Amino acid sequence: MKHSQFAVLVLTIGTLLSTGLLAGFAQERSKPKTPATVPEILTRAGTSFGEGRFSACLSDIREATALVAAERAKLIRAALPAAPKGMEKSVPDDSAAVGGFAAAFASTIGTIVNQDYTSDSKSIGVVVTIDSPMGPVFGMMISNPAMLEPGSELIKYGAYKGVLKNSGEGNHELQIMIDSTMVQVNSSGLSDDELLAFMDQKAVDALVAALAK
């Protein structure tokens, strides 16, 4: 390399260093942002509304709704019965319960809370649908026993009612309507008495209390 070329190279590197253009090679640490709280999001939505940015306002409201629904789902799941002896209560993934899609889904179908209980030979699946669109239909069915499927049994839980179905081969389905919330319990490998002992009056009372919060 000629002396003149070396001098140009040194000058170029010096210029880059002095202007900070080579600073990108320095170590950087990117910390994840702390998620906004519901009050913060609602404040942001109020600001957007006041400024006439209605699309942003609706987006914020959906985000807040999804977060509230996720917290309510945790509360309701915690109110569900403990695992029967010999069975394990699964740990659900609540990550899908947060987001704009979750909020839109909840507004049309209702907030859904799932909980499974399993063992080598038995299983119980509980699905709680808050603000279920099936509420009116189910209400009509249980108010008129003639509409029940053959082999179905009407179960009373104080002010609330449910329907127990024997699907054969040790499979049972229990549906309970708590105001506008549908509770569906499917079991395999359990007798009807074992299923009703799992979802007894105490279990329904706990759900009623959680849903009121």
Neighbouring C-beta atoms of residue 183, cutoff 10 Å: 26
So where are the chain's domains? 38-211
- Residue 186, helix vs strand vs coil: strand
User: Tell me, what's the pLDDT at 143?
Assistant: 76
User: Tell me, what's the pLDDT at 144?
Assistant: 76
List, in sequence order, every residue forming a beta bridge with 155; answer none if it has no partner. 162
User: Tell me, what's the pLDDT at 186?
Assistant: 96
Q: What would the CATH number be for the domain defined by 38-211?
A: 3.40.1000
Give the integer Cα–Cα distance in Å for 181 and 164: 17
Mean pLDDT by 10 residues, the chain (213 residues): 54 54 62 86 96 96 91 92 93 55 48 91 94 78 78 91 87 92 94 95 96 92
User: Tell me, what's the pLDDT at 75?
Assistant: 92
Q: Which helix (H) or strand (E) holds 204?
A: helix 201-211
User: Tell me, what's the pLDDT at 14?
Assistant: 54
Judging by beta carbons within 10 Å of its beta carbon (0-12, 13-18, 19+), is residue 60 exposed, middle or buried?
buried
Residue partners of 12: CB distance under 8 A and separation at least 6 = none
What pTM value is reported for the model? 0.72
